[in-house]
Structure formats: structure tokens, C-alpha cells
Amino acid sequence: MTDAVTETRRKYYDTLAPQALAPLWEVLKGLVPAEPKSKFAPHVWQFAKAKPLLMEAGSLLTAEEAERRVLVLENPAMPGGSRITATMYAGYQLIMPGEIAPAHRHTASALRMVLEGNGGYTAVAGEKTPMSRGDFIITPSWGWHDHGQENQSPVIWVDGLDLHMVNFYEAAFMDHMNDKSQILTKSIGQSVAEYGSGLGPMKPHSPFGLTTPIFNYTYDRSRPALMQVAENTDPDPHLGYALRYLNPLTGDWAMPTIAAWLSHLPKGFETKAMRSTDGRSIVVLEGELTLDLDGKTFTAGESDVVAIPSWVWSRIRASKDAVFFSFSDRAAQEKIGIYREERQ
Ligand code: 1HN
């Protein structure tokens, strides 16, 4: 292009800007890339490094002061972004003995993967549920929730929220209760009895809209299910053994925006390479994983968290018999018809 042409165009562009107009041809390639290239980095957060810092926060401020005492898992490619992957927020949360994280509700949906339960609880929409290691607990969009610990040991879990999706749509609301704890109107385990026993109400409906009516998928039910499947079937070459958490009323993912599943790889098993458009986070519950993420090697042990951004090639090997929890924005991507994966 000659200088004269460049200059003519530049002058033309200058006339567009005051009218809030811009030439698409200058930005088209960046707006519509040939394939995803994540701005986020694959990364492992080691629980052994995070836990002492989390406990230090425990003596610096109360859960009530903090509202939620959490160390955010910040993707190192975007410090200050409060993101583990493009659309997801994640963090390690701590409740000390006797504390209450006060009741509130928000548009964003949240999940918890419990690391150290020890008698802590979460209350959701009038029902309390105890927290134990490996439990997958959901607080649905706009559901009241508070957390607490009546016993003598700290409670720690991993939070995952779809709040960046909600904020992208500029659709976020939040509300606080006057009381610290919500009034309980249901018995412990009532929602599992009503919806999670292969039975359901005569008129199927979820009190939580698009979200599953079961809000605690306890490890004492999910682990044996996964292990029994593993004993009697061949592993999927790309997934190993995996079961996903379902909404029993629809057969869809348990949450409308966040996909969640539980995997088992026997010691020595290595998955074949695959990549997918969802931003995925893994919480290791048992054993140890060696991950090859776009050619780089990472190791993740118990309670460590792994970020696998969109379209990163991954191969996962169990260096010890492993059980791990995954969550991603796949459920949302499927709903808008854009989810893709590729398997080698
Ligand atoms: C939240 O409500 C919790 O309820 C945890 O435990 C983390 C991060 C951002 C916004 C709301 C919780 C959160 C959060």
C-alpha cells in the first residue's frame, strides 16, 4: 500500500470516529480468529502452598468481616482478573470454628468442592447440608446461602462461580439477608429424598429453575458409583472413567452454565490427547496427576487445582490411583451451540 493510500484512509477513519463508527476491515481478523487462542495459561495451584496463607487470613479477619474469606485462584496470565479461566471464578474458602459466612444471594451460580469438611455446613434455600471431603454442593442462581462451622476444626473448600458470564451480560444482582443465618424450613437430606432416590414429585418442577433440585451430590454416593463402573467396564481412551453430575428432572448438567463431572484414572493410565473449547478446572481429590498441557508438564496432588484453558491440548496420566473433580463452562457453551472438541 502506498503512503498516499494509507494517508487517505487514515483521514477517512478520522471522520468516522466522531460519529461513533469504525471500519470493520481493520479489526475483522482479531474479532473472528481462525481458532481459539486462550489469553489464559495452564496452571496448577498447590494446596500445600495455599493452605498456610489461607489459615493466616483466618487470623487476620473473620468470615463475617470478609463476607466470604477466600483466596482467589488468579490465572497467572491475568493478575487482578479474579478468573481461573476466561469465564470462571474460583477460590479456596475458609470457615473457622464458630464462624458464619452470612446469608446472601446473587445471580451468579456457585459450586463448592469440599476439601476439609469436618462438620461444616452450607444452607441453601431453607435446607442445611453437612460438608464432607469430595461433596459437590451447588448454590443455584438467586438462592439464599450461608455457610458455618459448629465444630472445632477449620472447613476448606474450592468455590467455582459463573460470575464472569453473568457480568459479561451485565445481568448481576446481589441481595443480603438481615439475619446472618437463614431460617431452616426443611430437614437435612430432604431434597435428596425428594429428587435423588429415583423418585420425584408428581408434577416435575425444580424449586431452582434450570438448576438441579439436589444441591449436595455427596462423595459417599458418587465415589462408589464411579468405582463400581470402573470395576466392570473399559476406560474411555480420552476420559478414563468419568461420570457427570446430572439434573434428575432434565438429564442435563446439574447446573445450567457449569458442567461438572467426576473422574477416575487407575495408576499408570494415561489419556489420549484431546482439546475442547471449554475452560476447565480440576480439583484432585485422591492420588496424583501428571498433566501434559500444550506440551508443558505439570504435577497435581491432593487438593491441588489445575486450570486448563480453552483449546489447550491435554493428556492426563495418573502417577497414583486418582480421583478428580472437573468443572467448566461447557454447559453454557452447549446451550448456545458453540462447544467443540477434538480427540487424537
Ligand atoms: C460467594 O457468594 C461465595 O457464597 C464465595 O461462598 C465466593 C465470590 C464472588 C461472589 C460471591 C459463597 C464468591 C461469592
- Domain of 251: which CATH number? 2.60.120.10
Average pLDDT over residues 111-118: 95
How many folded domains does the chain comprise?
2
Compute the distance from residue 68 Cα to the ligand 1 centre, in Å. 6
pLDDT of residue 61 exceeding 80, the answer is yes
The predicted structure's pLDDT at residue 119: 86
How many angstroms separate the CA atoms of 251 and 236, rounded? 21
Residue 161, ligand 1, Cβ within 6 A: yes
How does residue 204 score in pLDDT terms, banded at 50, 70 and 90? Answer: confident
Residue 240 burial class via C-beta count within 10 angstroms: exposed 0-12, middle 13-18, buried 19 and up: buried
Say yes or no: 237 and 150 in one domain: yes
Inside any domain, residue 275:
yes
Whose CA is closest to atom 13 on ligand 1? Answer: 68
Q: Which of 2-6, 180-184, 226-230 has the highest mean pLDDT?
A: 226-230
- Please tell me the predicted confidence (pLDDT) of residue 118: 84
**312: three-class secondary structure by DSSP:** coil
What confidence tier does 84 reach under pLDDT thresholds 50, 70, 90? Answer: very high
How far is 220 from 91, CA to CA, in rounded Å?
A: 24
- 107 exposed, middle or buried (CB, 10 Å; 0-12, 13-18, 19+)? middle
| pLDDT score recorded for residue 2 | 86
Q: Decide: 145 in ligand 1 pocket, CB within 6 A.
A: yes
Is 55 in the same domain as 174? yes
- C-alpha to C-alpha distance for 242 and 260, rounded to whole angstroms: 10
Closest CA to 70 of 87, 48, 89, 85: 89
Q: Is residue 16 part of a domain?
A: yes
Q: What is the Cα Rg of the chain in Å?
A: 22
- Mean pLDDT calculated for residue range 253-267: 98
Q: Confidence class of residue 323 from pLDDT cuts 50, 70 and 90?
A: very high
pLDDT of residue 206: 84
pLDDT band, residue 111 (cuts 50/70/90): very high
Position 37 in a domain: no
Mean pLDDT of the region 285-306: 98
Q: E strands of 119-154, at which residues?
A: 120-124, 127-130, 136-139, 145-149
Against a cut of 0.85, is the pTM above it?
yes
Q: Is the pLDDT of residue 303 over 90?
A: yes
The secondary structure of 152-206 as a DSSP string is SS-EEEEEEE-HHHHHHTT---EEE-SSSSPPP-S-TTHHHHHHSSS---SS---
Whole domain around residue 268: which residue ranges? 43-343
Q: Which helix (H) or strand (E) holds 340?
A: none
Residue 266 has pLDDT above 90, yes or no: yes
Residues 50 and 183 in one domain: yes
The CA 4 to ligand 1 mean position distance, Å, reads 56
Average pLDDT in the chain: 96
How far is residue 200's CA from residue 191's CA, in Å, rounded to a whole number?
10
**Together in a domain, 113 and 258:** yes
Q: Residue 1 above 80 pLDDT? A: no
Ligand 1: atom nearest CA of 145 is 4
For the chain, where are the alpha helices, taking DSSP H only? 3-16, 28-31, 47-60, 63-66, 163-168, 190-195, 219-232, 330-335
